[in-house]
Chain A
Amino acid sequence: MTERSIKDNEIGELELLSFKVGEQEYSVDIMLVREIRGWTRATPLPHSEQYVRGVINLRGAVLPIIDLACRLGLGATQTTERNVIIVVQIHDQSIGLLVDAVSDIISIPRNELQTPPEIATDASNSFVQALTVVEGRMLRVIDLDAVYPTREGHAA
């Protein structure tokens, strides 16, 4: 879905929401973002993956929270009140991404996106869909499909 929505934008401009995870800067297609909210304590789910922080109440809906830093292999986030949950929608389903802080909204031309080079050293690389350079900094566009836990793993 991420990929499609990037391609479908015919204007050629892509708006990205950038945020900080650990010391790194990531971004996500802003069209997939539903809302941004402050950190509230999540109810842990038993027997879940380590990066699943639990579930929170999003206006009556049960929203699973993914600790993005943990998911990217950067170690579990030490949550404070300053942490942010980005609610994104993938496959008609909402999930919350726990990140350190939201930085900016950036418009970049589509053709400035580069596919990440094939260096399989960094675990977090497999979650990166594209790279771009903004004001001299490298910005990673995250692949939400890869981030979200596979449903099969939780089916039974």
Chain B
Amino acid sequence: MSDPMAEIRASFFIECEELLEALQDGLTAMDGGDDDAETINICFRAVHSMKGGAGAFGLEQLVRFAHRYETVMDEVRAGRLSPDRDAMMLFFRAADVLSDIVRASRDGTEVDQSETEAVLTQLESLAGGALDEEEEEEVTDFQPMTLSFDLDSPPAPTEDTPWTIRFTPHKALFASGNEPQHLLRALSALGEAETVCEQDRIPTLDALDPEDALLSWTITLDSTKSESEIREVFDFVDGICDLEVSGGGGGGGGFALPALDDIPSTIDDGAPAEEAPAPNIAASPPRITLSAPTDETMASDSAAPAPSSAAAPATAPATPTPATPTPVTPTPDAAPAKVETSKPAKPSGQAGGQATASQSKATVRVDLDRIDRLVNLVGELVINQAMLSQSVQEADIPSNSPVSQGLEEFMQLTRDIQDSVMMIRAQPVKSLFQRMSRIVREASAAVNKRTRLVTEGEATEVDKTVIERLADPLTHMIRNAVDHGLESSADRVAAGKSEEGTVTLTAVHRSGRVVIEVSDDGGGINRPKVREIAESKGLIAEGISLSDSEIDNLLFLPGFSTAKEVSDLSGRGVGMDVVRSAIQELGGRISITSEPGVGTCFSISLPLTLAVLDGMVVRSGGETMVVPLGSIVETLSLQDNEIRSVGPGANVLHIRNSFVPLLDLAVALGFREPLESYDGSVVLLITQEDGTRSALVVDSIEEQRQVVIKGLQESYGHVPGIAAATILGDGQVALILDPVDLMSTVAGKKPGAGPSLELAG
């Protein structure tokens, strides 16, 4: 496959992702009780567009599935089927399967046929006779209806003259998986329609090209809809068919033929007049004014109601000329011209129709590498600016001098630029949450519980990397909530709750961090049982006194699982400890609150970005280091009498009636030997996620500032106790501590996060 094709293909799949998202949105809205026709339309269109695109790329499976899906949706759209809860669940499942197929098609992998088939079968049974009916119609549509109806219903004496729509599909329309049937049906949904098929262009059998588009339809539509609304039906086939809409309100029953191939050649001479009376159309119903041999006046009259078609009369000959099929095949010239013609109609149609219009802001797709480069450059700029201000300071320039003031503004600008650049990388968590709704559906189906996922704060923006790396832990937590958190339906009813469990997923910005909460309205943590399990597994000593929150935190211990039996859902040996370390890798914290009988809530607090960090710059053993501000709860200055020795080389800090392990940072990192006296040293009180604290001795605190994170991973590798590096104002590299890792390294435990950290390079 050639390169440009691959590119188009790639952009098709990106589009698919967006369409899938729109579909999810629509379905969620429908599920939430929104039965607005437009919502259903959005879903329908999403599936339909995917089908169209898939057809163009020959993705048979996708076309097939989307087609069925779309057929059922069309039933809903036409009001013939009102979706109940089960139908909605099926729609959701079908959307999941559809996204599987899309992804499989993209990656060239196989999808699980059994699931696809199962959903297909269910879709078919839901549609009931509709599918058969469709098959029949396809055959019968053309012949019997042709000439019979028209005269019985002469221009109905309604306030509006009926619309006359002439629709001639091109070969490409069929090639791209579109189906005139749907369009015609959609039209008839707008009002009373009479459809007449014209078969004049069909040659004798021996000259027949089976793949050519030889049929066209003339629809007389009695509807109060505006022209743009009628044209909207054909939005998807724009450019691959000839479409004329005429009549309606103004009463001009004329025609506006948009096949524009040969405008220039015919526009001036009398040719149109001679050719216009296209003979084949004479066969069509008299109500269609075209049938009467028209003259130029007629043609120019008809031009009036059709906007943008000043040239229309001239184009008349193009389509009706019956003898050869050639005019039907779209020529390259025709396509752009067509776009122009339909433009006036299109925007209004969208504005009227799409509720999503407000969302579709102008966006640009940018390669992530480019953004990363920009982020890097801005990082440089920040460092450079810091170096500059440092030298200005060292040069003893008075603070009221233009240099200092200019620098001040420069700093402000740098800050703003940095913030804006970070914003580029930020994405709403919506896509992540949508993936979770699928997890909930699958999980609840697997354990036979009825679960509803409520999401809040979908628009909250977080760094793209954070979102990507949050998917796994969040999936796990959601599964846990459904499997362990929620009680069985029977238990719920017994407890006086609704049978349907609720899992709530919220995201919110809180003081420079984003907080994501997964909560359920289940039975809460069964603390005695948690304790019992922890004891039986030897994770804690028996009989030890623990507070409620300490018991809750036992869930995070490696090797803990409360499920009595290992379900195929959770309990795969991956526990909450993995979730926690994944969150910690992102510089986040996770905490847990639970109330018996009411529910459990896991709260994740994450930095907005992984590129900068608020840190405290400290000196230790002659080195400058950065300690993440988030992990410091308190700083104090040390007096010798606060230190208690609990063994050789092991000291604790006595603070407010509790003992906290004391650690000299410089010693821990091997920069110097332990000091004789720590009197007057500065202590940073560090807290870990599980609430345990430790005290870190440093020589002095320099300042508190934002630092740009530079990975050590790609240039060197993981260093125990060190999270990353940064560059300070003096151009020196300073190491950023990973206090949790440092503590566990010193304590001789296996560094938790170390081995699983990915190498960014």
10 new A-B contacts at CB < 8 Å, known A60-B376, A154-B716, A154-B718: A40-B731, A45-B712, A59-B380, A60-B379, A62-B727, A64-B715, A95-B715, A151-B717, A155-B755, A156-B755
Q: Which of B664-719 contact A (CB under 8 A)?
A: 668-671, 710-712, 714-719
**Of the residues B670, B711, B761, contact of A93 by C-beta under 8 Å:** B761
17 contacts between A and B (CB under 8 A): A43-B734, A45-B722, A46-B668, A46-B669, A46-B720, A47-B669, A54-B733, A55-B715, A55-B725, A60-B380, A62-B715, A93-B714, A95-B715, A154-B717, A154-B718, A155-B717, A155-B718
Q: Is the pair B733, A43 in contact by a Cβ cutoff of 8 Å?
A: yes
Interface magnitude class on chain B: 20 to 34
Determine the chain A residues whose CB is within 8 A of the CB of B722 once the complex forms: 45-46
> B735 interface residue, CB < 8 Å from A?
yes
Q: Is the pair A63, B715 in contact by a Cβ cutoff of 8 Å?
A: yes
Query: Within the assembled complex, what's the spacing in Å between the Cα atoms of A74 and B18?
Result: 61
Determine the chain A residues whose CB is within 8 A of the CB of B727 once the complex forms: 57, 60, 62
> B35 interface residue, CB < 8 Å from A?
no
Query: Within the assembled complex, what's the spacing in Å between the Cα atoms of A40 and B730?
Result: 12
> A61 interface residue, CB < 8 Å from B?
yes
> A44 interface residue, CB < 8 Å from B?
yes
Determine the chain A residues whose CB is within 8 A of the CB of B670 once the complex forms: 46-47
- Contact digits for B350-389, partner A, Cβ 8 Å, 1 yes 0 no: 0000000000000000000000000010011001000000
**Of the residues B379, B720, B732, B761, contact of A47 by C-beta under 8 Å:** B720
- Contact digits for B543-574, partner A, Cβ 8 Å, 1 yes 0 no: 00000000000000000000000000000000
Determine the chain B residues whose CB is within 8 A of the CB of A70 once the complex forms: none
> A7 interface residue, CB < 8 Å from B?
no
> B630 interface residue, CB < 8 Å from A?
no
> B751 interface residue, CB < 8 Å from A?
yes
- Contact digits for A94-106, partner B, Cβ 8 Å, 1 yes 0 no: 1100000000000
Q: Which of A99-156 contact B (CB under 8 A)?
A: 151, 153-156
Query: Within the assembled complex, what's the spacing in Å between the Cα atoms of A55 and B722?
Result: 13
> A34 interface residue, CB < 8 Å from B?
no
Residue of B nearest to A152 (CB): B717
Q: Is the pair B755, A55 in contact by a Cβ cutoff of 8 Å?
A: no
Would you give the shortest CB distance from A47 to chain B, in whole angstroms?
6
> B754 interface residue, CB < 8 Å from A?
yes
Identify the 6 closest CB pairs spanning chains A and B, nearest first.
A154-B717, A46-B669, A43-B733, A60-B380, A64-B716, A156-B755
Query: Within the assembled complex, what's the spacing in Å between the Cα atoms of A156 and B754?
Result: 6
Q: Is the pair B721, A46 in contact by a Cβ cutoff of 8 Å?
A: yes
Interface centre among B669, B714, B732, B733 (most CB of A within 10 A): B733
Determine the chain B residues whose CB is within 8 A of the CB of A154 once the complex forms: 716-719
Q: How many residues of A contact B (CB 8 A)?
A: 29
> B134 interface residue, CB < 8 Å from A?
no
Query: Within the assembled complex, what's the spacing in Å between the Cα atoms of A133 and B4?
Result: 54
Q: Which of A22-70 contact B (CB under 8 A)?
A: 40-48, 52, 54-57, 59-64
Would you give the shortest CB distance from B443 to chain A, in whole angstroms?
33
Would you give the shortest CB distance from A116 to chain B, in whole angstroms?
29
Query: Within the assembled complex, what's the spacing in Å between the Cα atoms of A55 and B733?
Result: 7
CB < 8 Å A-B pair total? 85
Question: Which positions in A face B, CB cutoff 8 Å?
Answer: 40-48, 52, 54-57, 59-64, 92-95, 151, 153-156
Q: Is the pair A62, B732 in contact by a Cβ cutoff of 8 Å?
A: no
Determine the chain B residues whose CB is within 8 A of the CB of A57 once the complex forms: 727, 731-733
With A43-B623, A57-B733, A60-B376 as known contacts, state yes or no: A94 contacts B715, CB within 8 Å: yes
Residue of A nearest to B622 (CB): A44
Would you give the shortest CB distance from A26 to chain B, in whole angstroms?
23
Q: Is the pair B712, A62 in contact by a Cβ cutoff of 8 Å?
A: yes
Interface centre among A42, A46, A93, A94 (most CB of B within 10 A): A46
Q: Is the pair A41, B380 in contact by a Cβ cutoff of 8 Å?
A: no
Query: Within the assembled complex, what's the spacing in Å between the Cα atoms of A46 and B717?
Result: 12
Residue of B nearest to A151 (CB): B717
Query: Within the assembled complex, what's the spacing in Å between the Cα atoms of A46 and B718?
Result: 11
Determine the chain B residues whose CB is within 8 A of the CB of A45 once the complex forms: 712, 716, 719, 722, 735
Determine the chain A residues whose CB is within 8 A of the CB of B376 once the complex forms: 60
Q: Is the pair A61, B710 in contact by a Cβ cutoff of 8 Å?
A: yes
Q: Is the pair B716, A62 in contact by a Cβ cutoff of 8 Å?
A: yes
Determine the chain A residues whose CB is within 8 A of the CB of B731 once the complex forms: 40, 57
Residue of A nearest to B756 (CB): A156
With A41-B732, A151-B717, A154-B716 as known contacts, state yes or no: A46 contacts B671, CB within 8 Å: yes
Determine the chain B residues whose CB is within 8 A of the CB of A156 once the complex forms: 718, 720, 751, 754-755
Determine the chain B residues whose CB is within 8 A of the CB of A56 once the complex forms: 733
Q: Is the pair B380, A55 in contact by a Cβ cutoff of 8 Å?
A: no
Interface centre among B715, B716, B718, B721 (most CB of A within 10 A): B716
